[in-house]
Amino acid sequence: MSLTLRTCIPFSLALLCTGVFAAPQDLTVISFGGVTKQAQDKAYFQPFNASGAGRIVAGEYNGELSKIKAMVDVGHTSWDVVEVESPELLRGCDAGLFEKLDPASFGDQSQFVPGTFTECGVATYVWSMVMAFDQNKLTKTPSSWADFWNVNDFPGKRGLRKGAKYTLEIALLADGVAPDQLYKVLNTPEGVSRAFAKLDKIKSNIQWWEAGAQPAQWLIAGDVVMSAAYNGRIASAQKEGMNLSIVWPQSLYDPEYWAVVKGTPNKALAERFIAFASQPQTQKVFSENIPYGPVHRQALALLPQQVQQQLPTAEANIAKARAVDAEFWVDHGEELEERFNAWAAR
């Protein structure tokens, strides 16, 4: 390509040309890595780059707010957008670590799953804590957390996450608490004691897991007959040919959010990226690559039925599920985790 003096003028060692566009602006997006990041790359990062709106510089972290706080405290923000879990979003927002966002910038709220928009974050996907089992190893089919506690009809070990969060909710659901009353009950001393009393009944049958990969591994090996598990881990095992099943009623679902780090000079581009990643078509691609639920309702209709059935936000799956109350765990998490650890050690 030839350049003429009519379109270009020399400036130092470079040429400034009227038809040459500036390079896309970099936007640093930090998420949790692994297969989730791979799905984000296909659904969001590469298409956003291709759109010419900006260039994603993708990184990863373990969700620690301390790194974000250090940046904000010194006024040197090198991250723009971060993926955060719901409790950290609330804590970070209260601590002034995230920018306030205008929900109107991201679409019609009625088209999104409830809880998608908060003061400082926009949900990007939903995952669930579900009950999973291997049908080959059971003579009956469990259908509720009450069945999880029924060691007579379903003998064997059960897997539960080693921690108060999710475990206390599951215990109360097993004890007959209605999902819509769950946190009302758990927010009382009597409710907490009720949950621990319920756990006492099967304590000797519990095998505690600490890593998300363990429930599927234990189910396949026959170490446990059923387990609480992250839905994505079970779906991945199913994809690999493992005969594992999910019980969706009484599952606990929780969104992951995009947040914009306080003080970023790239706030406008960050919001543009989040809006891009909140569209039905991009969320469809994400859920095709990892079985987490899209938050835009129209994305579900774009997915094959067999994919929809694996997603927490599918109408049939979310209908009898309960959202995790992040605010409850921000307020009470520390004390309840301490009590749980003391109980588990006995």
Look up residue 43 and give its DSSP letter: I
The pLDDT-based confidence of 24 (bands split at 50, 70, 90) is confident
Size of the chain, expressed as the number of residues it contains = 346
The pLDDT-based confidence of 4 (bands split at 50, 70, 90) is very low
Give the pLDDT of residue 34.
Answer: 84
Give the pLDDT of residue 21.
Answer: 54
Residue 265 pLDDT greater than 80, yes or no: yes
pLDDT in tens, 206-243: 999 999 999 999 999 999 999 999 998 898 899 889 99
pLDDT in tens, 161-171: 999 999 999 99
Which residues pair with residue 296 across a beta bridge?
112
Architecture of the 26-126+255-322 domain = 3-Layer(aba) Sandwich (3.40)
Residue pair 66/97 in contact (Cβ under 8 Å)? The answer is no
Count CA atoms closer than 13 A to 301's CA, side-chain side. Answer: 6
Give the pLDDT of residue 22.
Answer: 64
Which residues pair with residue 117 across a beta bridge?
122
Average pLDDT, integer, range 24-45: 94
Give the pLDDT of residue 324.
Answer: 96
The pLDDT-based confidence of 288 (bands split at 50, 70, 90) is very high
Residue 312 pLDDT greater than 60, yes or no: yes
Q: Can you give the pTM of this predicted structure? A: 0.85
Give the pLDDT of residue 207.
Answer: 98
Give the pLDDT of residue 236.
Answer: 85
Residue 7 pLDDT greater than 90, yes or no: no
CA distances from residue 51 to 27, 47, 273 in whole angstroms, order as listed: 14, 6, 11
Phi, then psi, of 251 in degrees rounded to 5 = -70, 160
As a whole-number percent, the residues of the chain with pLDDT over 90 amount to 85
Average pLDDT, the chain: 92
- Location of structure tokens 């780059």: 49
More confident position, 205 or 239: 205
pLDDT in tens, 115-170: 999 999 999 999 999 999 998 889 899 999 999 999 999 999 999 999 999 999 99
Question: Could you give the residue ranges of the DSSP H alpha helices within 118-230?
Answer: 145-149, 167-174, 182-186, 189-200, 214-221
Give the pLDDT of residue 135.
Answer: 86
| Strands 226-230, 55-60: pairing kind | unpaired
As a whole-number percent, the residues of the chain with pLDDT over 70 amount to 94
Give span(s): CATH 3.40.190.10, the chain. 26-126+255-322, 127-253+324-345
Say which residues have a Cβ less than 8 Å from residue 178's Cβ, sequence separation at least 6: none
Give the pLDDT of residue 136.
Answer: 87
Give the pLDDT of residue 5.
Answer: 33
pLDDT in tens, 86-107: 999 999 999 999 999 999 999 8
Reported as type and span, the H/E element at residue 248 is strand 244-260
Average pLDDT, integer, range 290-305: 95
Q: Which CATH number fits domain 127-253+324-345: 3.40.47.10, 3.40.190.10, 3.30.499.10, 3.40.50.300?
A: 3.40.190.10
